Chains A and B, each alone.
Chain A
Amino acid sequence: MDSEKKIRVLVAKPGLDGHDRGAKVIAQAFRDAGMEVIYTGLRQTPEMIVSAALQEDVDVVALSCLSGAHLTLFSRVIALLKQKGMEDVLVIGGGVIPDDDIPILKEAGVAEVFTPGTPLSQAVDFVKNHVQVKG
């Protein structure tokens, strides 16, 4: 592993939810932690997100959703990543997500779910500990 290589993160807002405070705050935190961050902006379809992930060759896709569409949208992103052979990309999620849905998301392949109130450092450390930066 090249120690100079930075972790690349795609922060994405799938669906129609316009609440991007959390997405922008976490993006800033990743950047302050020395990662390279790309933010998709609002209203992204799972297809657009996966295509951006592929094009930007990211190590992490961080999905944020507060509208309740997370089960549909996060699962779709993961399925599309698999389809493109990008299983090694770490997918994490955040937003207003009921506890009951967290195991379902994890089962689908979301590595960790961060709900409101999670310290930024926890998400940053999680990414650092779980990413093998591509050489």
Chain B
Amino acid sequence: MGDETNRIKEEMEKWENGLLKKTLAKAKERENLPVKRLYTPLDLEGHSYLDKVGFPGQYPFTRGIQPTMYRGRFWTMRMYSGFATAEETNQRYKYLLAQVITGLSVAFDLPTQIGYDSDHPLAEGEVGKVGVAIDSLKDMEDLFEGIPLGKVSTSMTINAPAAVLLAMYQAVAEKQGFKAEELDGTIQNDVLKEYIARGTYIYPPGPSMRLITNIFEYCSKHIPKWNTISLGAYHIREAGSNAAQEIAFAFANAIDYIEAAIKAGLNIDDFAPRISWIFATDINVLEEVAKFRAARRLWAKILKERFGAKDPRSCMLRIHVHTSGSVLTAQQPLNNVVRVTLQALAAVLGGTNSMATCAYDEALALPTEESATLALRTQQILAYESGAADTVDPLAGSYYVEALTDQLQEQAEAYLTKIDAMGGAVKAIEKGYVQSEIQRSAYESQLAVERGQKIIVGVNKFQTHYEPPKNLLKVDPAVRERQIVKLNELKTNRDNARVQTALKTLKECAQGTDNLYPPILEAVKAYATLGEICDTLRDVFGEYTPPQIL
């Protein structure tokens, strides 16, 4: 091995002084490339295959969390969707299920994400726009009408009011005749990233952490198959972070949740296997592949070494990937078909477990039925036609990919050390550290585009006249009025005494220390609205005010 290394060094020197020198004298390379010209075995000196790469399905999981990966089963193909009312979104779900998506992924509108009913003044203009409007159990019943919840897996992008939406889901499933134990799916339930990257927070960190750990606790007993948190690395990336920051800041948040749960008396192996992840997949294919591999390895190490997890499932980083929307351009939107394909390819080569692909028109509006179908077909073509899914972790052993995997892990670990020194993620967020790091990366990357160092086809190079796509999806502004009529009917017809009692019990629970989930479930079943439930908690917990970082 030593002889081989020396020979490579000698040969490389000869190559550099000979052939390379001559070539560079004739033709310069492009400037400012972020990676080295060439990767060789020299970049992996001392790199142990068994320690760092290993075998799929076992520690450190670099090559994937299942032994056979896509040879056994393809990743779960989801389409993130939701718009207008529950009835309209239900139609879209039935359409997508007919196009053979293998999991549902619910997008809620902003009022729902922030715990407001559709009739709240701040909801004006927002109802049904970026997702479906859900005000009460009635809406949830309509959303899943005719979709057997014991038979599908559903991912719900919901954070601050996650407990309420999960309770609604559970209540609908029970009405359909399924048991809580049968339910399979995910709630995002990651509020820390809302403070730093996405902005749909309600309560301050303390009570938010309580709601989250209460869900961990309830689900570990009653909804054991449910993924109780899906940490949002995605949103951190979309807010402007780079790949290493995406891993580091999301992991820092996860470490805080784990510590809070342990402090609340939970055992690491009782809840860690139900932690799942959503990552972005950007367009730099090889860097993204390395990112997923580095993230899996680092997560396994943290769980094993820092938290003493014994169950291998606790160490598995289960990844859902959503293709990065910020990569898409409004200019020449058909180019986005290619971008999404590359992003999705990176996720497949990087061993994702589940994926949702953006539609090409998403830099302009919500996807239409046609553009959503094409986005799904992209995944199906990758799975069935491209061959990328035929062998496990096909890029392992690439000098570049392995070196980059090591490098991203090191960079992410350096950030984690820094955040630990600040006292953890919540402290770092309160100081504005994480936000300002993300903001700096976002601005630098925009400046690189402005200066032409970073090329975006159709935007700062190869601009041509293009026809904007026709038939974009438009949400009827009357959706809000329809929701309000429905809300008023609900309030007239429900058992209001039961609602008041449920809300009173919830308030008392919030003032104490008991698990909040059972009284939320009772309020939901009594048809208390999302706004009423969240307001009850707002009264006790207050609302989060972000520090201004600019």
Could you list which residues of chain A lie within 8 angstroms of chain B, going by C-beta atoms?
A: 15-21, 24-25, 27-29, 37, 39, 41-43, 45, 67-73, 96, 98-100, 115-117, 119-121
18 contacts between A and B (CB under 8 A): A16-B126, A17-B130, A18-B110, A18-B198, A21-B240, A25-B240, A25-B442, A28-B550, A37-B550, A42-B546, A67-B110, A69-B126, A69-B129, A72-B477, A73-B125, A98-B365, A117-B363, A119-B449
**The one of A15, A70, A96, A99 that contacts B122, using a Cβ cutoff of 8 Å:** A15
Contact residue among A15, A19, A25, A37 (Cβ-Cβ distance under 8 Å from B126): A15
When distances are taken between beta carbons in the complex, the residues of chain A under 8 Å from B468 are: 98-99
Contacts of A99 in B (CB 8 A): 364, 468
Check if A120 sits within 8 Å of B450, measured CB to CB: yes
**B contact residues vs A (CB 8 Å cutoff):** 110-111, 113-114, 116, 121-126, 129-130, 194, 198-200, 238-240, 326, 328-331, 363-366, 439, 442-443, 446-447, 449-450, 456, 458-460, 468, 472, 474-475, 477, 546, 548, 550
Task: List chain B residues, Cβ under 8 A from A18.
Answer: 110, 194, 198-200
Q: A27-B550, A96-B365, A98-B365 are in contact. Are A21 and B239 (CB under 8 A)?
A: yes
Nearest chain-A residue to B127 (Cβ)?
A69
Main secondary structure of the interface of A (DSSP, over half): loop
Q: State whether B443 touches A28 (Cβ < 8 A).
A: yes
Check B110–A117 contact: CB distance below 8 A.
no
Q: Which residue of B lies closest to A18 (CB)?
A: B199
Contact A19/B199 with A68-B130, A69-B125, A98-B365 known, Cβ cut-off 8 Å: yes
CB within 8 Å for A98 and B122 given contacts A18-B194, A28-B443, A119-B460: no
The answer to whether A98 touches B110, judged by C-beta atoms less than 8 angstroms apart, is no
A121 to B328, CA, bound (A): 20
Q: Is the CB of A21 within 8 A of B238?
A: yes
Docked Cα-Cα span, A71 to B129, in Å, equals: 12
Cβ-neighbour of A17 out of B110, B363, B443, B550 (below 8 A): B110
Q: Report chain B residues within 8 Å CB of A24.
A: 439, 442-443, 550
Closest to B470 in A: A100
Q: How far is the CA of A15 from the CA of B120 in the complex (A)?
A: 12
Determine whether the beta carbon of A19 is less than 8 Å from that of B446.
Answer: no
Q: Which of B111, B238, B456 contacts A16 (CB 8 A)?
A: B111
Chain B residue with minimal CB distance to A40?
B548
- A43 and B122 form a contact (CB under 8 A): yes
Q: Are A116 and B330 in contact (CB under 8 A)?
A: yes
Contacts A21-B239, A69-B129 known; A16 to B114 CB distance under 8 Å?
yes
List residues of chain A with CB within 8 A of the CB of B330. Answer: 96, 115-117
In the complex, the chain A residue whose C-beta lies closest to that of B363 is A116
Complex contacts, A121 vs chain B, CB 8 Å = 450
Given contacts A21-B239, A43-B122, 8 further A-B contacts (CB under 8 A): A16-B200, A18-B200, A24-B550, A25-B442, A68-B126, A69-B126, A96-B330, A96-B363
Q: Is the CB of A25 within 8 A of B446?
A: yes
| A31 and chain B: residue at smallest CB distance | B550
Beta-carbon contact of A117 and B365 below 8 Å: no
Most chain B CB within a 10 A radius of its CB, from A16, A67, A69 = A16
A15 and B125 in contact, given A21-B240, A98-B472, A115-B330 (Cβ under 8 angstroms):
yes
Does B450 contact A119, Cβ atoms closer than 8 Å? yes
How near does chain A come to B40, taking the closest CB pair, in angstroms? Answer: 38
Q: A15-B122, A16-B114, A117-B456 are in contact. Are A96 and B199 (CB under 8 A)?
A: no
Nearest 10 Cβ contacts at the A-B interface: A18-B199, A72-B125, A69-B125, A16-B110, A68-B129, A117-B459, A99-B468, A115-B330, A42-B199, A69-B126
Specify the chain B residue showing the minimal Cβ separation from A117.
B459
- Name the residue in A27, A68, A120 with the highest tally of chain B Cβ atoms < 10 Å from its Cβ: A68
How far is B122's CA from A45's CA once the two chains are assembled, in angstroms? 7
Q: Are A68 and B365 in contact (CB under 8 A)?
A: yes
CB distance from B441 to the nearest CB of A (A): 10
* A43 proximity list for chain B (CB < 8 A): 114, 122, 199
Q: Which residue of the partner chain B has the closest CB to A70? A: B125
Q: List the A side residues contacting B458 at CB < 8 Å.
A: 117
Q: A117 vs B194: C-alpha distance in the bound complex, in angstroms?
A: 25
CA distance A67 to B113 in the complex (A): 12
Complex CA–CA separation, A119 to B461 (angstroms): 12
- In the bound complex, do residue A96 and residue B364 qualify as a contact, i.e. CB atoms below 8 Å apart? yes
Contact, CB under 8 Å: A41 / B546: yes
A29 to B451, CA, bound (A): 13
Q: Could you say which residues of chain A place their CB within 8 Å of the CB of B114?
A: 16, 43
Shortest B550–chain A CB gap in Å is 5
| Chain B positions within 8 Å of A67 at CB level | 110, 126, 129-130
Check if B548 sits within 8 Å of A41, measured CB to CB: yes
* Least distance between B280 CB and chain A CB atoms (Å): 13
Give the distance in Å from the alpha carbon of A19 to the alpha carbon of B366 in the complex. 16
Chain B residues within an 8 Å CB radius of A70 = 125
Distance (whole angstroms) from the CB of A17 to the closest CB of chain B: 6
Give the complex CA separation of A37 and B550 in angstroms. Answer: 9
Residues of A with C-beta under 8 A to B331: 117
The interface residues of chain A lying within 8 Å CB-to-CB of B111 are: 16
Q: How far is the CA of A16 from the CA of B199 in the complex (A)?
A: 8
- Please name the residue on chain B nearest to A72 by beta carbon: B125
